[in-house]
């Protein structure tokens, strides 16, 4: 199984440009998440989804948009890139079965806005 | 709202010694779970150990154990017999009850193992 696949791994954007960070999971997990990690800090939740067609804002949603048209895909859109969006972005998915919870993280996308 | 606090920004430990990384949490939900993740310099998030709020015993996974003190709202990670490969960032995280399963992370502790 591939798990959670993020593309691209690295990207440099100019201020004002837009881009989409791709995230795909092949585990049939209902829950998917986007986090950002600033240097030396913990992960902060940008957006999450509890299933296809359902998304909700996390702690730091400003400047981002998401969609969830299928169970597998959860892309993150940056419309007008700003230097403050320079960060490492992690996509994750999760399942729960009774009292068992499992989270799988992608390998991250390192984004620099210049 | 859920909150995770890690008060140790950095720690230095001699190889082969045990180390305890602190984590306190705050939640009003009776059902929750606590995770520890390791993030090496390569950047990936590696799951270490999980403790559910209703689990009767402290979780253990090889050299990792979780010292869960519910009344104190603490979930410290204990690494026994530390190795050079344990040098990394360590994050404590909490999930809410079913239906609120997003993870809230602490700010992390950078652990450095000294040979």
Question: Each residue of B86-114: pLDDT tens digit?
Answer: 999 999 999 987 777 899 999 999 999 99
pLDDT at position A71: 96
How sure is the predictor about B7, in pLDDT bands with cuts at 50, 70 and 90?
A: very high
pLDDT at position A1: 63
CB B107 to CB A42 under 8 A? yes
Query: Tokens for B4?
Result: 């995770």
Using the Cβ of B38 and the Cβ atoms of chain A, whether some distance falls under 8 Å is answered with no
Chain B residues with CB-CB distance to A48 below 8 A: 102
Distance of CA A112 to the CA centre of its chain: 16
Report the gap between the CA of B28 and the closest CA in chain A (Å).
Answer: 18
- Give residues with Cβ within 8 angstroms of A100, minimum separation 6: none
Max intra-chain CA distance, chain B? 45
| DSSP β-bridge partners for residue A100 | A97
CB A45 to CB B95 under 8 A? no
Look at residue A73 and tell me whether its pLDDT is greater than 70: yes
Residue B43 has its nearest CB partner, among A31, A99, A108, at: A108
Cis-peptide into A8, omega within 30 deg: yes
Q: What residue of A is the nearest CA neighbor of B100?
A: A50
Average pLDDT in chain A: 94
Look at residue A98 and tell me whether its pLDDT is greater than 80: no
Q: Which of A66-80, A85-99, B78-92 has the lowest mean pLDDT?
A: A85-99
CA distance B36 to B22: 11
CB B47 to CB A103 under 8 A? yes
């Amino acid at each position: 199984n591939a798990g959670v696949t993020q593309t691209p791994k690295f990207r440099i954007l100019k201020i004002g440009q837009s881009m989409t960070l791709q995230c795909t999971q092949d585990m049939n997990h209902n829950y998917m998440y986007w986090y950002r990690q600033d240097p030396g800090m913990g992960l902060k939740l940008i957006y999450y989804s509890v299933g296809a067609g359902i998304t909700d804002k996390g702690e730091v949603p400003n400047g981002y948009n998401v969609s969830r048209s299928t169970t597998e895909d959860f892309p993150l859109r940056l419309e007008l890139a700003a230097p403050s969006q320079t960060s490492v972005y992690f996509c994750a998915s999760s399942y729960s079965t009774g009292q068992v919870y499992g989270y799988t993280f992608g390998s991250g996308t390192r984004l620099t806005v210049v | 709202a859920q909150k995770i606090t890690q008060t140790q920004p950095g720690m230095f430990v001699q190889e082969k010694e045990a180390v305890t990384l602190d984590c306190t949490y705050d939640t009003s939900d009776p059902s929750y779970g606590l995770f520890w993740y390791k993030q090496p310099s390569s950047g990936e998030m590696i799951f270490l150990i999980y403790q559910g709020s209703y689990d009767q015993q402290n979780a253990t996974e090889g050299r990792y154990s979780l010292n869960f003190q519910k009344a104190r709202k603490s979930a410290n990670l204990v690494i026994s017999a530390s190795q050079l490969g344990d040098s990394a960032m360590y994050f404590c995280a909490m999930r809410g009850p079913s239906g609120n399963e997003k993870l809230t992370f602490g700010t992390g502790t950078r652990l450095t193992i000294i040979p």
